[in-house]
Amino acid sequence: MRGRDLFKRYPGNPIITHESLPYQSNSVFNAGATAMEGQTLLLMRVEDRKGMSHFTAARSRDGLSGWTTDEKPTLIPSPADHPEEMWGIEDPRITYLQELGCWSVTYTAFSQGGPLVSLACTRDFVKFERHGAVLPPEDKDAALFPVRFKGRWAMIHRPVSNWPAVRADIWICFSPDLKHWGDHRILIPARKGGWWDANKVGLSPPPLATEEGWLILYHGVRTTATGSIYRLGLALLDLEDPCKVIARADEWVFSPQESYELMGDVDKVVFPCGWVREGNSVRLYYGGADKCLALATAEVPELLEWLKEHDVN
Ligand code: BMA
Protein backbone atom coordinates (compact mmCIF):
# COMPACT_ATOMS: atom_id res chain seq x y z
CA MET A 1 0.00 0.00 0.00
CA ARG A 2 1.33 3.42 -0.84
CA GLY A 3 1.55 5.93 1.99
CA ARG A 4 0.20 8.77 -0.11
CA ASP A 5 -3.10 6.93 -0.52
CA LEU A 6 -3.75 6.43 3.19
CA PHE A 7 -5.36 9.81 3.93
CA LYS A 8 -7.72 11.04 1.25
CA ARG A 9 -8.37 14.75 1.04
CA TYR A 10 -12.00 15.86 1.04
CA PRO A 11 -12.77 17.30 -2.41
CA GLY A 12 -14.53 20.30 -0.81
CA ASN A 13 -11.36 21.43 1.01
CA PRO A 14 -10.80 23.78 2.65
CA ILE A 15 -13.92 23.12 4.74
CA ILE A 16 -13.80 26.37 6.77
CA THR A 17 -11.95 29.60 6.05
CA HIS A 18 -11.79 32.86 7.97
CA GLU A 19 -14.04 34.41 5.31
CA SER A 20 -16.80 31.95 6.26
CA LEU A 21 -16.79 32.99 9.96
CA PRO A 22 -19.57 35.32 11.17
CA TYR A 23 -17.02 37.87 12.43
CA GLN A 24 -13.76 39.32 11.15
CA SER A 25 -10.52 37.47 11.82
CA ASN A 26 -7.14 36.69 10.31
CA SER A 27 -7.28 32.90 10.09
CA VAL A 28 -9.01 29.74 11.32
CA PHE A 29 -7.00 26.52 11.70
CA ASN A 30 -5.81 23.72 14.05
CA ALA A 31 -9.20 22.60 15.42
CA GLY A 32 -9.91 20.01 18.09
CA ALA A 33 -12.73 17.62 17.15
CA THR A 34 -15.26 15.34 18.81
CA ALA A 35 -18.59 13.61 18.22
CA MET A 36 -21.40 15.16 20.23
CA GLU A 37 -25.16 14.59 20.15
CA GLY A 38 -25.13 13.14 16.65
CA GLN A 39 -22.95 15.92 15.30
CA THR A 40 -19.29 16.59 14.75
CA LEU A 41 -18.05 19.49 16.82
CA LEU A 42 -14.90 21.39 15.96
CA LEU A 43 -13.27 23.74 18.42
CA MET A 44 -11.37 25.92 16.00
CA ARG A 45 -8.38 28.10 16.69
CA VAL A 46 -9.22 31.54 15.37
CA GLU A 47 -6.46 34.14 15.18
CA ASP A 48 -7.81 37.68 15.43
CA ARG A 49 -6.40 40.69 13.64
CA LYS A 50 -4.38 41.68 16.70
CA GLY A 51 -2.45 38.41 16.40
CA MET A 52 -3.99 36.61 19.39
CA SER A 53 -5.92 33.33 19.18
CA HIS A 54 -9.18 32.16 20.77
CA PHE A 55 -11.54 29.21 20.14
CA THR A 56 -14.83 29.11 18.25
CA ALA A 57 -17.05 26.05 17.87
CA ALA A 58 -18.47 24.80 14.56
CA ARG A 59 -20.94 21.93 14.17
CA SER A 60 -21.99 19.68 11.28
CA ARG A 61 -24.37 16.70 10.95
CA ASP A 62 -22.13 14.66 8.65
CA GLY A 63 -18.76 16.09 9.68
CA LEU A 64 -18.08 17.06 6.10
CA SER A 65 -20.23 20.00 5.13
CA GLY A 66 -23.00 22.31 6.32
CA TRP A 67 -20.93 23.72 9.17
CA THR A 68 -22.63 26.21 11.48
CA THR A 69 -20.34 28.39 13.52
CA ASP A 70 -20.97 30.11 16.86
CA GLU A 71 -21.82 33.77 16.21
CA LYS A 72 -19.23 34.91 18.73
CA PRO A 73 -15.97 33.43 20.10
CA THR A 74 -16.72 30.35 22.26
CA LEU A 75 -13.71 30.53 24.59
CA ILE A 76 -11.56 33.63 24.82
CA PRO A 77 -8.30 34.15 26.72
CA SER A 78 -8.89 35.25 30.30
CA PRO A 79 -5.64 36.96 31.34
CA ALA A 80 -7.25 38.68 34.36
CA ASP A 81 -7.60 35.39 36.28
CA HIS A 82 -5.25 33.32 34.07
CA PRO A 83 -2.20 35.48 33.32
CA GLU A 84 -0.70 32.59 31.35
CA GLU A 85 -3.25 33.34 28.61
CA MET A 86 -2.01 36.90 28.05
CA TRP A 87 -1.07 36.32 24.39
CA GLY A 88 -3.87 33.94 23.50
CA ILE A 89 -4.93 30.30 23.52
CA GLU A 90 -4.04 27.89 20.71
CA ASP A 91 -4.33 24.38 19.28
CA PRO A 92 -7.05 22.66 21.39
CA ARG A 93 -7.17 18.85 21.70
CA ILE A 94 -10.43 17.31 22.92
CA THR A 95 -10.88 14.02 24.81
CA TYR A 96 -14.17 12.70 26.18
CA LEU A 97 -13.70 11.50 29.77
CA GLN A 98 -16.58 9.10 30.29
CA GLU A 99 -15.79 8.63 33.97
CA LEU A 100 -16.29 12.35 34.60
CA GLY A 101 -19.00 12.88 32.00
CA CYS A 102 -17.14 15.79 30.42
CA TRP A 103 -14.70 16.65 27.66
CA SER A 104 -11.17 17.73 28.49
CA VAL A 105 -9.67 20.46 26.35
CA THR A 106 -5.89 20.69 26.50
CA TYR A 107 -4.46 23.73 24.78
CA THR A 108 -1.46 25.96 24.44
CA ALA A 109 -1.62 29.11 26.55
CA PHE A 110 0.78 31.75 25.24
CA SER A 111 2.23 33.16 28.46
CA GLN A 112 4.82 35.83 29.19
CA GLY A 113 7.28 33.00 29.83
CA GLY A 114 6.45 31.16 26.60
CA PRO A 115 3.87 28.61 25.44
CA LEU A 116 2.64 26.16 28.09
CA VAL A 117 -0.01 23.46 28.54
CA SER A 118 -3.40 24.44 29.98
CA LEU A 119 -6.42 22.28 30.72
CA ALA A 120 -10.14 23.03 30.83
CA CYS A 121 -13.24 20.82 31.07
CA THR A 122 -16.65 21.29 29.52
CA ARG A 123 -19.99 19.47 29.39
CA ASP A 124 -21.52 21.50 26.58
CA PHE A 125 -18.85 23.58 24.78
CA VAL A 126 -20.63 26.65 26.09
CA LYS A 127 -19.28 26.83 29.64
CA PHE A 128 -15.71 25.81 30.41
CA GLU A 129 -14.11 25.11 33.78
CA ARG A 130 -10.45 26.04 33.68
CA HIS A 131 -7.88 23.94 35.56
CA GLY A 132 -5.19 26.46 34.63
CA ALA A 133 -1.59 25.86 33.59
CA VAL A 134 -0.71 22.20 34.14
CA LEU A 135 2.79 22.12 32.60
CA PRO A 136 5.25 25.06 32.42
CA PRO A 137 6.90 26.50 29.26
CA GLU A 138 8.01 25.60 26.76
CA ASP A 139 5.45 22.86 26.31
CA LYS A 140 2.70 22.24 23.71
CA ASP A 141 0.85 19.53 21.78
CA ALA A 142 -0.80 17.91 24.81
CA ALA A 143 -3.78 15.54 24.95
CA LEU A 144 -5.31 13.26 27.54
CA PHE A 145 -6.10 9.59 27.12
CA PRO A 146 -9.84 8.94 27.64
CA VAL A 147 -9.27 6.38 30.44
CA ARG A 148 -7.11 5.94 33.53
CA PHE A 149 -4.20 3.50 33.67
CA LYS A 150 -3.82 1.77 37.04
CA GLY A 151 -5.89 4.53 38.59
CA ARG A 152 -4.08 7.47 37.00
CA TRP A 153 -4.85 9.77 34.09
CA ALA A 154 -2.21 9.96 31.36
CA MET A 155 -1.24 12.90 29.20
CA ILE A 156 1.01 13.17 26.18
CA HIS A 157 2.86 16.47 25.77
CA ARG A 158 5.85 18.03 24.03
CA PRO A 159 8.38 20.01 26.05
CA VAL A 160 11.33 21.67 24.32
CA SER A 161 14.88 21.16 25.54
CA ASN A 162 18.09 22.87 24.45
CA TRP A 163 20.37 20.01 25.35
CA PRO A 164 22.73 19.33 23.66
CA ALA A 165 21.06 21.41 20.92
CA VAL A 166 17.44 22.48 20.55
CA ARG A 167 15.26 19.38 20.38
CA ALA A 168 11.63 18.51 20.99
CA ASP A 169 10.46 14.98 21.83
CA ILE A 170 7.05 13.57 22.69
CA TRP A 171 6.67 12.84 26.43
CA ILE A 172 4.08 11.15 28.63
CA CYS A 173 3.10 11.83 32.26
CA PHE A 174 0.52 10.72 34.82
CA SER A 175 -1.81 12.27 37.38
CA PRO A 176 -4.19 11.06 40.10
CA ASP A 177 -6.39 14.18 39.84
CA LEU A 178 -5.77 15.95 36.48
CA LYS A 179 -3.91 18.65 38.41
CA HIS A 180 -0.62 17.23 39.65
CA TRP A 181 1.45 15.60 36.90
CA GLY A 182 4.49 13.38 37.38
CA ASP A 183 6.39 10.27 36.25
CA HIS A 184 7.50 12.17 33.16
CA ARG A 185 9.31 10.19 30.50
CA ILE A 186 10.11 10.32 26.81
CA LEU A 187 7.61 8.40 24.72
CA ILE A 188 8.50 9.10 21.08
CA PRO A 189 11.85 10.81 20.56
CA ALA A 190 12.60 12.95 17.52
CA ARG A 191 14.93 11.11 15.19
CA LYS A 192 18.30 12.49 14.17
CA GLY A 193 20.16 13.41 11.01
CA GLY A 194 18.36 13.21 7.70
CA TRP A 195 15.02 11.78 8.84
CA TRP A 196 11.77 13.65 7.97
CA ASP A 197 11.04 13.82 11.72
CA ALA A 198 14.50 14.73 13.00
CA ASN A 199 14.95 17.07 15.97
CA LYS A 200 11.31 18.12 16.47
CA VAL A 201 8.16 16.04 16.82
CA GLY A 202 4.82 16.59 18.59
CA LEU A 203 1.52 14.82 19.11
CA SER A 204 -1.13 15.85 16.58
CA PRO A 205 -4.69 14.65 17.52
CA PRO A 206 -5.31 12.76 20.81
CA PRO A 207 -4.45 9.03 20.91
CA LEU A 208 -7.10 6.91 19.15
CA ALA A 209 -8.22 3.60 20.69
CA THR A 210 -7.99 0.72 18.18
CA GLU A 211 -8.15 -3.05 18.51
CA GLU A 212 -4.35 -3.22 18.29
CA GLY A 213 -3.32 -0.33 20.47
CA TRP A 214 -3.46 3.45 20.84
CA LEU A 215 -2.89 4.92 17.41
CA ILE A 216 -0.68 7.99 17.48
CA LEU A 217 -0.54 10.52 14.67
CA TYR A 218 2.31 12.94 15.22
CA HIS A 219 3.94 15.78 13.35
CA GLY A 220 7.57 15.90 12.37
CA VAL A 221 9.19 19.19 11.47
CA ARG A 222 11.87 19.25 8.83
CA THR A 223 14.05 22.33 8.66
CA THR A 224 15.02 23.35 5.14
CA ALA A 225 16.80 26.31 3.54
CA THR A 226 13.40 27.95 2.86
CA GLY A 227 11.70 27.15 6.18
CA SER A 228 9.99 24.25 7.96
CA ILE A 229 7.84 21.45 6.53
CA TYR A 230 5.21 20.01 8.90
CA ARG A 231 4.41 16.38 8.00
CA LEU A 232 2.61 13.51 9.78
CA GLY A 233 3.70 10.05 10.90
CA LEU A 234 2.19 7.07 12.72
CA ALA A 235 3.04 5.11 15.87
CA LEU A 236 1.20 2.61 18.08
CA LEU A 237 1.16 2.30 21.89
CA ASP A 238 0.23 -0.68 24.04
CA LEU A 239 -3.42 -0.55 25.14
CA GLU A 240 -2.66 -1.47 28.76
CA ASP A 241 0.65 0.33 29.13
CA PRO A 242 0.79 3.50 27.00
CA CYS A 243 4.49 3.96 27.85
CA LYS A 244 5.22 1.00 25.58
CA VAL A 245 5.70 1.92 21.91
CA ILE A 246 4.69 -1.13 19.85
CA ALA A 247 5.36 0.32 16.42
CA ARG A 248 6.65 3.44 14.69
CA ALA A 249 6.68 3.89 10.94
CA ASP A 250 9.71 4.99 8.99
CA GLU A 251 7.99 7.14 6.34
CA TRP A 252 5.61 10.06 6.79
CA VAL A 253 1.95 9.40 5.84
CA PHE A 254 0.70 12.89 5.03
CA SER A 255 2.55 15.94 3.77
CA PRO A 256 1.64 19.39 2.43
CA GLN A 257 0.71 19.08 -1.24
CA GLU A 258 -2.34 21.19 -2.11
CA SER A 259 -2.18 24.99 -2.49
CA TYR A 260 -4.07 25.55 0.82
CA GLU A 261 -1.38 23.50 2.61
CA LEU A 262 1.59 24.94 0.75
CA MET A 263 0.73 28.62 0.99
CA GLY A 264 -0.75 30.58 3.89
CA ASP A 265 0.48 32.46 6.94
CA VAL A 266 3.03 29.68 7.49
CA ASP A 267 3.76 27.76 4.30
CA LYS A 268 3.98 23.96 4.00
CA VAL A 269 2.05 23.04 7.14
CA VAL A 270 -0.54 20.32 7.77
CA PHE A 271 -1.45 20.45 11.47
CA PRO A 272 -4.30 18.25 12.79
CA CYS A 273 -5.55 18.64 16.37
CA GLY A 274 -8.56 16.33 16.08
CA TRP A 275 -9.98 13.22 14.49
CA VAL A 276 -13.34 11.47 14.80
CA ARG A 277 -13.77 7.74 14.35
CA GLU A 278 -16.90 6.31 12.75
CA GLY A 279 -16.78 2.54 12.29
CA ASN A 280 -13.56 1.73 10.50
CA SER A 281 -13.13 5.24 9.15
CA VAL A 282 -11.55 8.27 10.70
CA ARG A 283 -12.07 11.89 9.72
CA LEU A 284 -8.98 13.99 10.31
CA TYR A 285 -9.36 17.75 10.74
CA TYR A 286 -6.23 19.78 10.10
CA GLY A 287 -5.02 23.31 9.70
CA GLY A 288 -3.69 24.19 6.25
CA ALA A 289 -0.66 26.51 6.28
CA ASP A 290 -1.89 28.20 9.51
CA LYS A 291 -4.72 29.79 7.50
CA CYS A 292 -7.70 27.46 6.92
CA LEU A 293 -9.30 24.19 8.03
CA ALA A 294 -9.23 21.05 5.91
CA LEU A 295 -10.35 17.42 6.15
CA ALA A 296 -8.93 14.07 5.10
CA THR A 297 -10.34 10.58 5.70
CA ALA A 298 -8.65 7.23 6.24
CA GLU A 299 -9.54 3.63 7.08
CA VAL A 300 -8.19 2.57 10.49
CA PRO A 301 -7.40 -1.05 9.43
CA GLU A 302 -5.36 0.31 6.50
CA LEU A 303 -3.42 2.64 8.80
CA LEU A 304 -2.65 -0.29 11.14
CA GLU A 305 -1.61 -2.56 8.27
CA TRP A 306 0.64 0.10 6.73
CA LEU A 307 2.16 0.82 10.14
CA LYS A 308 3.07 -2.86 10.54
CA GLU A 309 4.70 -2.92 7.10
CA HIS A 310 6.68 0.22 7.88
CA ASP A 311 7.53 -0.45 11.52
CA VAL A 312 11.13 0.32 12.50
CA ASN A 313 10.54 0.66 16.22
C1 BMA B 1 3.54 24.97 15.85
C2 BMA B 1 2.23 25.43 16.48
C3 BMA B 1 1.08 25.36 15.51
C4 BMA B 1 1.42 25.85 14.13
C5 BMA B 1 2.75 25.28 13.65
C6 BMA B 1 3.18 25.82 12.30
O7 BMA B 1 4.60 25.28 16.69
O8 BMA B 1 2.38 26.75 16.92
O9 BMA B 1 0.02 26.13 16.01
O10 BMA B 1 0.41 25.44 13.23
O11 BMA B 1 3.75 25.59 14.61
O12 BMA B 1 3.34 27.19 12.30
- Spell out the per-residue pLDDT of the chain, length 313, in tens: 444 579 999 999 999 999 999 999 999 999 999 999 999 999 999 999 999 999 999 999 999 999 999 999 999 999 999 999 999 999 999 999 999 999 999 999 999 999 999 999 999 999 999 999 999 999 999 999 999 999 999 999 999 999 999 999 999 999 999 999 999 999 999 999 999 999 999 999 999 999 999 999 999 999 999 999 999 999 999 999 999 999 999 999 999 999 999 999 999 999 999 999 999 999 999 999 999 999 999 999 999 999 999 999 9
Q: What's the distance, Cα to Cα, between the start and end of the chain in Å?
A: 19
pLDDT at site 3: 41
In a domain, 73, yes or no: yes
In a domain, 170, yes or no: yes
In a domain, 192, yes or no: yes
In a domain, 41, yes or no: yes
Exposed / middle / buried, residue 258 (Cβ in 10 Å: 0-12, 13-18, 19+): middle
SS3 assignment, position 3: helix
Least Cα distance to 228 among 196, 206, 258 occurs for: 196
Bridge partners of residue 278, in order along the sequence: 281
Question: What count of residues does the chain have?
Answer: 313
Mutational test site, ligand 1, from 27, 28, 30, max ligand atoms within 8 Å of CB = 30
Distance of CA 80 to the CA centre of its chain: 27
Atom of ligand 1 nearest to the CA of 91: 9
In a domain, 51, yes or no: yes
Q: How many whole angstroms from 269 Cα to the centroid of ligand 1?
A: 8
Mutational test site, ligand 1, from 29, 89, 90, 230, max ligand atoms within 8 Å of CB = 230
SS3 assignment, position 32: strand
Q: How many whole angstroms from 133 Cα to the centroid of ligand 1?
A: 19
Q: What is the dihedral of CA 60, 269, 146, 124, to 10 degrees?
A: -40
Residues lining ligand 1, Cβ inside 6 A: 30, 90-91, 230, 266, 269, 271, 287, 290
In a domain, 10, yes or no: no
pLDDT at site 5: 78
In a domain, 11, yes or no: no
Containing domain of residue 88, as a range?
Answer: 21-309
Report the C-alpha gap between 129 and 261 in whole angstroms: 34
pLDDT at site 131: 97
Report which protein residue has its CA nearest ligand 1's atom 9: 91
Where are the alpha helices (H) located in the chain, listed in sequence order? 259-262, 300-309
pLDDT at site 214: 99
pTM over 0.75, yes/no: yes
Q: What's the total number of domains in the chain?
A: 1
In a domain, 15, yes or no: no
Q: How many whole angstroms from 201 Cα to the centroid of ligand 1?
A: 11
CATH code of the domain containing 61? 2.115.10.20
